[in-house]
Amino acid sequence: MENQDKTCHNLTRRQMMIGATGVLAAGTALTQFGGLLKSAHAVGGPTEKWPWSYEKLDPAKTAEIAYEEWYRVFCGAAVINSVFSQLRAKVGEPYTSFPVDSFVFLEGGMVGWGMTCGSNAGAAIVANLIIGPRIAGGTEGHQISEDIFQWYSEASMPIFVPKTPKVTTKLVRTTAESPLCHVSVGKWMKASGYPIGSAERKDRCARVAASVAFHLVELLNDWKDGKYKHAATHKPVKEYGITAQMNCMECHGNDVPTPPMAKK
């Protein structure tokens, strides 16, 4: 605890110094703080380069790319690259330099931990890079992420059927009631009887990634046309007193715990 406090304190001091870059640059401390200044720039972020421009894309074509990409880099990076590979050609930078493959870690709800389905996380990354920071009035990146999570939770997945599927067995469709990889994959495995390592489960997830990429581009195209409407009905965190998906009873049954802050 003590160490943690110390770190926090140091961080604050660092940030204060970062805030005084003008003073540092003008002073003799320049050499000593050269590295700090560099990272100070990164802390603020190159906001002039964000958000990134967007050209409308074809949802079905994007979904086909995502499907194929799944077999190379799995769900998260597949969704990101389904959009960004096309924008590299249409827009160029900064898409050209963006290391999409670094997001391969989103696989299996992040390195196999079954957290947020990588397709959802990938879609949120795309929406927020294209639409911009939540704080600067550009709330739609945030909203599209929420829409994707809710839509995904309610959808009978997988929706998208690729032109030339790698697996031709008819795949059952399930509704996750959750944006989580673990819940989504688990319910599908239970309904289908196929294990995690099966070709069918893999193709199911490739199609889920494709389905998400399809819907993401639909939303981005609407946004580009000024027609986007926020669809998700997720309530603000303060209404529950805990960060959560809204279907509390799905996991807690009839005994939903009350967060401490809300206790009388």
Site residues, ligand HEC (CB under 6 A): 178, 240, 242, 244-248, 250-252, 256-257, 259
Only one residue has tokens 């590299």, namely: 88
Residue 97 beta carbon to ligand HEC: minimum distance, rounded to whole angstroms: 37
Nearest to 68 by CA among 202, 180, 192: 202
Number of Cβ atoms within 10 Å of the Cβ of 8: 10
- In whole angstroms, what is the distance from residue 167 CA to residue 203 CA? 6
Closer to ligand HEC by CB, 170 or 263: give it: 263
Number of Cβ atoms within 10 Å of the Cβ of 50: 16
Closer to ligand HEC by CB, 136 or 256: give it: 256
Residue 246 beta carbon to ligand HEC: minimum distance, rounded to whole angstroms: 5
Residue 258 beta carbon to ligand HEC: minimum distance, rounded to whole angstroms: 6
Residue 249 beta carbon to ligand HEC: minimum distance, rounded to whole angstroms: 8
Opening angle at CA 31, ends 29 and 35, nearest 5: 105
Quick check: 91 and 53 in contact, CB under 8 A? Answer: yes
Residue 124 beta carbon to ligand HEC: minimum distance, rounded to whole angstroms: 18
Quick check: 187 and 176 in contact, CB under 8 A? Answer: yes
Closer to ligand HEC by CB, 72 or 252: give it: 252
Closer to ligand HEC by CB, 172 or 248: give it: 248
Closer to ligand HEC by CB, 83 or 208: give it: 208
Residue 128 beta carbon to ligand HEC: minimum distance, rounded to whole angstroms: 23
* Rounded alpha-carbon distances, angstroms, from residue 128 to 50, 140, 145, 261: 9, 8, 8, 31
Closer to ligand HEC by CB, 231 or 251: give it: 251
